[in-house]
Chain A
């Protein structure tokens, strides 16, 4: 773990705040879209495959001294999970994912049946920059109805096995002198995980529709309700 100089630290905090501002504005545009002509099926009228068990590993939240198993964040509730990194500036990358998560969070908060049954989860692809201290700036996004956790790892050594089990690879951008620019090339994939820790849907690169995600979440809730009765 490396320590950041004070100016670098302030720059990253500014980036984090700017990131949050940018995505909040994006989310308004997404939220304004209507689903009245949806070609998608109604919740509960279809089944979601049990695609694969969710990855596991050691992760950090709020403190670098207190590791947690990733499974504690991906079981017990329905989980919507994505990788991200705080300094990502690709408008179709992390900021778009963030905006979609905000829209989904807002929709889930409106439905009392869903309150407390779903969590949102981000895991950083850049553990050297996205320290637990840095990620604490995002915790205001979490609400009692729909908690949103921002996780990181001690290092790439802990991160890569989690990525590998989800078949995700990344690479670092370099400038003309071969120096890393801080940009991380990665594919956007969002994973919907059931309370037993099974990946039940993967959204990626094509068309990612918050309304469809909410429908899928409701489908899993209906499935859970059936199990209980």
Chain B
């Protein structure tokens, strides 16, 4: 194993009002280039929320919730910041210094930069509106911190609106730098979804979802359209991170979504779940040192299309939470042997569940409900909430629920943790 010099920013991790090193929180999904993870108690949880017609101010908004049990506001919404309009709010990502939170919209392609110098009161400091014009891509999805800049994975393009797309780089200030198309040769389908970098190996993995036409279509209509159903990602790409050149393209049918590298020291494998084929895949070197993608487990009953969506890996790489949207189940897998994951626990979170975020120590797990505005369940099945649980090693114990419908907030989607004094 190559020895590398770890440059710090370690003092940043100590910048807490509590004195001791809080250090590092779904924290496990953050870019390795981020300077300060929260390893202790997170104080705030920010939910990127889709505005909904007839609900509150109807605008997309960043909702901030106090999640520190010591706070008098524990479990309450302490701030909402509406950004105006509805553009299919989706995912967020911190800059490398954790000072700024970037949040994207998949329909109008706007990217909002929030300053978290006071994480209890995020401030909108810039709205990027040139993403489509500069790149030709549509649907800024994943925001992945690189040193001093942001790597953005698109979902689509402005010509065909299918899943052919690319990666774009912006400075931390929000200025465009460059873009790279996803590979369409040597087996590449050109699609994109998530990014995960392994700096020590100089490797980057990307996954593949679907384009604007599909993700903006009503789910009921989509699944009955055989032609549209062909337009989902079937590949993962292993990149040389430094050169941003594809090294190998894996056939991973059924729309591989979120990607996580195991953070356990000595581990050298990544994992994803495929939405349509309901599988867990592991990306690992074989006995010859060759990187391979391997179907290692089935999630639920694929014939019922449970739709595995978000995953969250434990910091020690031993467990993986997998949410299945259609049945609202959270499933925990034992990853002690990553090539043979075992489902060890299930719990119904609601009528639908999408995102899952766990604290770095794995003791707290949060769930939200919205997948896409046109894909969420309808009527009384359309739960919209944030639920917070403690994980005691055997079961999830519910701590509080924030009902986004009752509070007229909208559809609860992506979550990020923050704490005062961390970042900046």
A interface residues, Cβ below 8 angstroms from B? 30, 33, 35, 37-41, 45-47, 49-52, 90-93, 96-97, 99-100, 166-169, 171, 173, 183-191, 199, 202-210, 212
Chain B residues with Cβ under 8 A from A205's Cβ? 7-9, 33-35, 96, 147
In the assembled complex, B358 has its CB within 8 A of some CB on chain A: no
A41-B148 in contact (CB<8A): no
In the assembled complex, B202 has its CB within 8 A of some CB on chain A: yes
A169-B97 in contact (CB<8A): yes
A51-B149 in contact (CB<8A): yes
Beyond A46-B243, A189-B147, A203-B147, is A39–B7 a contact (Cβ under 8 Å)?
Answer: no
- Chain B window 54-89, contacts with chain A (Cβ cutoff 8 Å), 1 for yes, 0 for no: 000000000000000000000000000000000000
B2-A96 in contact (CB<8A): no
Beyond A38-B2, A49-B178, A52-B175, is A187–B9 a contact (Cβ under 8 Å)?
Answer: yes
Q: How many angstroms between the C-alpha atoms of A202 and B151 in the bound complex?
A: 13
Q: How many angstroms between the C-alpha atoms of A37 and B3 in the bound complex?
A: 10
Q: How many angstroms between the C-alpha atoms of A127 and B131 in the bound complex?
A: 39
A77 to chain B, nearest CB (A): 21
Identify which of B10-18, B207-215, B314-322, B392-400 touches chain A: B10-18
- Chain B window 239-254, contacts with chain A (Cβ cutoff 8 Å), 1 for yes, 0 for no: 0101111000000000
B411 to chain A, nearest CB (A): 32
- How many interface contacts (CB-CB < 8 Å) are there between A and B? 138
In the assembled complex, B133 has its CB within 8 A of some CB on chain A: no
Q: How many angstroms between the C-alpha atoms of A39 and B177 in the bound complex?
A: 25
Chain A residues with Cβ under 8 A from B34's Cβ? 205
11 residue pairs bridging A and B, Cβ less than 8 Å apart: A46-B240, A96-B6, A167-B171, A169-B97, A186-B11, A191-B148, A202-B147, A202-B148, A205-B35, A206-B147, A207-B7
Name which of A40, A185, A189 has the most chain B CB atoms within 10 A of its CB: A185
In the assembled complex, B119 has its CB within 8 A of some CB on chain A: no
B7-A92 in contact (CB<8A): yes
A144 to chain B, nearest CB (A): 26
A204-B96 in contact (CB<8A): yes
Name which of B3, B8, B96, B169 has the most chain A CB atoms within 10 A of its CB: B8
In the assembled complex, B424 has its CB within 8 A of some CB on chain A: yes
A93-B9 in contact (CB<8A): yes
A51-B148 in contact (CB<8A): yes
Residue of A nearest to B202 (CB): A39
Listed from nearest, the 4 A-B pairs whose CB atoms lie closest are A92-B8, A204-B147, A46-B243, A202-B148
Residue of A nearest to B201 (CB): A39
A30-B5 in contact (CB<8A): yes
Name which of A99, A190, A204 has the most chain B CB atoms within 10 A of its CB: A204
List 19 extra interface pairs beyond A39-B203, A90-B11, CB under 8 A. Answer: A40-B202, A45-B243, A46-B240, A49-B177, A92-B6, A93-B11, A97-B7, A100-B5, A166-B148, A167-B172, A171-B15, A171-B424, A184-B11, A186-B12, A202-B149, A207-B4, A207-B7, A207-B199, A209-B4
B22 to chain A, nearest CB (A): 13
Q: How many angstroms between the C-alpha atoms of A49 and B169 in the bound complex?
A: 9
B22-67: which residues lie under 8 A (CB-CB) from chain A? 32-35
Residue of B nearest to A168 (CB): B97
Partner of B33, one of A41, A171, A186, A204: A204
B62 to chain A, nearest CB (A): 21
Chain A residues with Cβ under 8 A from B2's Cβ? 33, 35, 37-39, 209
B242-A203 in contact (CB<8A): no
Chain B residues with Cβ under 8 A from A96's Cβ? 5-8
In the assembled complex, B344 has its CB within 8 A of some CB on chain A: no
In the assembled complex, B342 has its CB within 8 A of some CB on chain A: no
Q: How many angstroms between the C-alpha atoms of A173 and B19 in the bound complex?
A: 11
